[in-house]
Amino acid sequence: MIALLFFAALLWDEAGAWGFKDGVLHNSIWLERAAGVYHRESRSGKYQLTYAEAKVVCEYEGGHLATYQQLEAARKIGFHVCAAGWMAKGRVGYPIVKAGANCGFGRTGIVDYGIRLNRSERWDAYCYNPHECGGVFTDSKHVFKSPGYPNEYENEQICYWHIRVKYGQRIHLQFLEFDVEDDTACMADYLEIYDSYDDINGFVGRFCGDELPDDIISTGNLFVLFM
Ligand SMILES: *[C@@H]1O[C@H](CO)[C@@H](O)[C@H](O)[C@H]1NC(C)=O
């Protein structure tokens, strides 16, 4: 269970200080609509899931492997991940919003590896789950809680919270209470925080256990919390 408070603080109001450059932050505005689609990797790391295992990962969380169309719909509104994953019907690919030399061969779109004949190949997974929990907050102060708080969080449930404030503002996230099942490497239950939709550069941290995390201040006008 977690309870969090955030408030937006106008810490830096210099126009253009963080850009909507290169499409990333710009796209982020719309991403909450893509939140039904998400990326998953094996608990043992990147590119470890066979097709059957990828299906199980999504189904365990109440969803299923995303179709190509669902992934593309998510991509069109900002979903960008630099890792190939299984989709429905044994297809493999990944969504690229921002062209980059290190990912997607400098192109945007779904990088499509096609339908794999060998279902024992190991990739990540793209799941679709319309029943997720979470929310989108744009107000300047808000307290929110995990579902059922203060009771146990149901660990099959996937939640995304998107906190977005005005361009030029930053977000101050403060934890009021925190208790997420502890395990050795925060593998099973955890809260992850990103401050952009870039899955690598935007990663802020992963938290579990019952120690109250320190306050966190965003670098831009966005936080995404995933649990
Ligand atoms: C299928 O992929 C697995 C994992 O990459 C590999 O070990 C296996 O040899 C492949 N099978 C065939 C028939 O190519």
pLDDT, tens digit, 9 for 90 and up, residues 33-46: 465 888 888 878 89
pLDDT, tens digit, 9 for 90 and up, residues 166-218: 878 889 999 998 888 777 777 777 888 988 766 567 788 889 888 889 999 99
Which among 181, 179, 207 is positioned nearest to 193, based on CA atoms? 207
Query: What pTM was computed for the model?
Result: 0.57
| Residue 20, burial from CB neighbour count under 10 angstroms (0-12, 13-18, 19+) | middle
Regarding the beta carbon of 184 and ligand 1, being less than 6 Å apart is answered no
Pocket test for ligand 1, best of 42, 51, 121, 122 (most atoms within 8 A of CB): 121
